[in-house]
A and B are shown apart, each in its own frame.
Chain A
Amino acid sequence: MPSAGMNDKSPQKMLEKTPTGISGLDEITSGGLPKGRPTLVCGSAGCGKSMFAMEFLVRGILEYDEPGVLIAFEETPEDLEKNVSSLGFNLQELENRGKLIVEYIHVDKTEMTISGAFDLEGLFLTLQSCIDTIGAKRISIDTLEVLFGGFEDKALLRQEIRRLFIWLKSRNLTTVITAERGEGALTRQGLEEYVSDCVIMLDHRINDQVSTRRLRVVKYRGSTHGTSEYPFLIDEGGISVLPLSSAGLDHPALDERISTGIPRLDMMMEGKGYFRGSSIMVSGTAGSGKSSLSVFFADAACKRGEKCLYIAFEESPSQIKRNMRSLGVDLEKWTANGQIVFHASRPSIYGLEMHLVKIHKMVRDLKPDIVIIDPVSNLTRMGTVSEVNAMLVRLIDFLKAEGVTSMYTILTSEAQVSVEDSEVGISSLIDTWLSVRNIESNGERNRGLFVIKSRGMAHSNQIREFVLGSKGVDLLDAYMGAAGGMVTGSARVALEAREKAAGQAARIEIENVKTRLERKREALEAQWATMQAEFAIEADEAKRFIAQKLEEQDIYKEEAKAMSRQRRSDSTAAFAVNGRKEE
């Protein structure tokens, strides 16, 4: 027996919890059900109570190695086995491994006579025996209220049920007890009186012929818990609850950049493409190439070895594949090796919340790197704009928190003139917003693409012409026409040709100017050479003249000396004139 101190009632102590393993539920209850205590799961017929009780045990065994006992009052083991085998649970195998006991207890008022006082000790002994056989830590009782149909003495039953809960608690067994929902009360027999720790209500409502299952934690003593109604899903993987509140703004911002799949589009975003983990919106009118942008993005992701989940609300996967083949993208090989998983469904199949749960679940199961929803605007048919927005906010938050890069295409009508009209109201949550527009001019429709915003990067502000061809997508520079408008299609081709011709003329002119300049330089250089030659002649003459004059002077002096020597008279005077003294 576990020590009583383990589950001290002091509220200061952290309440120990047992994770259910049911997808999403443990997040809502911040950890699971109260450990070693009973939890009441109530709801009307067909709400998924029995599934809850069973999955709690199976997950306990598979994920937490906690053996479990199911006491089934309603369904025989054979029925149960069948019901859950479609979910991929193999009860027989778990029983053979000694991890699970399914004990069916049949109660039928007509098969017994009551004479005098009795108690339900046999039930306790049966439970004890089951628990001891496999060392059970988890118990599910489905549904206890069947007892009320079997025995008339309600007072005695209440007393026994109270005793049962105390008994389960004292053995530290985490228990799930299911009960039918009553009129004006949580349960028909008021079982909530006895289970004071945790009460969960399941609901199955149909609005506009679309059914939605919801789960609500009515009460959870000593623990915080989400109080909203959470939509949930029962499918081949069991129950998935969508934890609305778990989405927050604490997701990490990743610096990694990933290619858009279109080189020129990467160039528009600093040459690097989108941020990993960001949300990308592609808005555009019908046939503007939104899906193509998505598929190129997915194709690039697959080439990097990543996984992609493609949720198609408009076209079937084979239709998308065929269309993309014409653009030279082979999606077949990615679907064959599982890198692209298509999920195609009509938006009207489920309610909005069910779609959200479904997407949640697929993301959890597949762990894709990229999620594409094409087009998200189709969901607006399913509810009011505010409902759709609320759903998308949750979805975007969730995908960001998971670090998944998500792309949403939005169909806008031609009538919406301004691009800002085209959003469904989620533009503030979107990191990168591409707009593809049909441009009609000169009797043609052509596509123009521009980046309306892209957080955290210096993106191009230019319109690019968006061309789809058999070799894929290309983006061309925007040509501005004379009137200032963008020129596309054949008008662009004509303009390009004109520009080309004009360019040729300019080139010739430049050549001419260059030649003229060269000639002028040559002429000037020739002139310069002539002048240099003339100068050289002049300088030569000057030098010769100077030399001659000096020579003449010397001759004169020599003659004067000779003359004075001959005269022999006033020779000193003659020497004095020349400034020289002779001894």
Chain B
Amino acid sequence: MDNSSTDNAATVSRENDTFLLKLYVAGQTPRSVAAIENLNRICEVHLHGRYKLEVVDLARNPEQARIDKILAIPTLVRSLPTPIMRIIGDLSDTEKVLMGLNIRKL
């Protein structure tokens, strides 16, 4: 492929990677609502057009928490690109979210 991956530090995602994101919330709590809003905003700004986001409401499906090993709510899981990354909290700290997702600040 191209050599850009070696140029960028290994910890930083490549520009053209598609991000597969799953946000686990539990019901319509203020925290869940805030997390969804925060994530949408960050993605639009930093990952415009190259992310897929799924919001999982564990209140409707508690079994999923057990299967996906979700302890904290809200939890954001980045399953692609690998490695899998987890960010917990209402994602109000954008700096931390970008760091957790390995996205270079624009």
Whole-angstrom distance from the CB of B51 to the nearest CB of chain A? 17
Interface residues of A in 97-116 (CB under 8 A from B): 103, 105-107, 111-116
Q: B26, B62, B90: which contacts A117 (Cβ < 8 A)?
A: B90
Main secondary structure of the interface of A (DSSP, over half): mixed
- A81 vs B24: C-alpha distance when bound (angstroms): 31
| Smallest CB gap from B35: residue in A | A116
For A126, what are the chain B residues with a Cβ–Cβ distance below 8 Å?
62, 65-66, 70-71
Q: A112, A125, A151: which contacts B65 (Cβ < 8 A)?
A: A125
Q: What count of chain A residues pass the 8 Å CB interface test?
A: 24
Is the Cβ of A115 less than 8 Å from the Cβ of B97? yes
Main secondary structure of the interface of B (DSSP, over half): mixed
For B88, what are the chain A residues with a Cβ–Cβ distance below 8 Å?
112-115, 118
B81, CB-defined interface residue at 8 Å: no
For B21, what are the chain A residues with a Cβ–Cβ distance below 8 Å?
none
Is the Cβ of A118 less than 8 Å from the Cβ of B100? no
- A114 vs B93: C-alpha distance when bound (angstroms): 9
Is the Cβ of A114 less than 8 Å from the Cβ of B66? no
Is the Cβ of B72 less than 8 Å from the Cβ of A119? yes
For B35, what are the chain A residues with a Cβ–Cβ distance below 8 Å?
116
A85, CB-defined interface residue at 8 Å: no
Q: What count of chain B residues pass the 8 Å CB interface test?
A: 33
Q: A115, A121, A122, A129: which contacts B91 (Cβ < 8 A)?
A: A115
B41, CB-defined interface residue at 8 Å: no
Interface residues of B in 52-106 (CB under 8 A from A): 58-59, 62-63, 65-66, 69-75, 85-94, 96-97, 99-100
Whole-angstrom distance from the CB of A54 to the nearest CB of chain B? 20
B22, CB-defined interface residue at 8 Å: no
Chain A interface residues toward B at CB < 8 A: 103, 105-107, 111-123, 125-126, 128-130, 132, 151
Having A113-B97, A114-B88, A115-B94, one finds 17 other A-B pairs with CB under 8 Å, namely: A103-B66, A107-B71, A115-B93, A116-B38, A116-B90, A116-B91, A116-B93, A117-B89, A121-B58, A122-B24, A122-B70, A122-B73, A123-B72, A125-B65, A128-B62, A129-B65, A151-B72
Chain B interface residues toward A at CB < 8 A: 24, 26, 31, 34-35, 38, 58-59, 62-63, 65-66, 69-75, 85-94, 96-97, 99-100
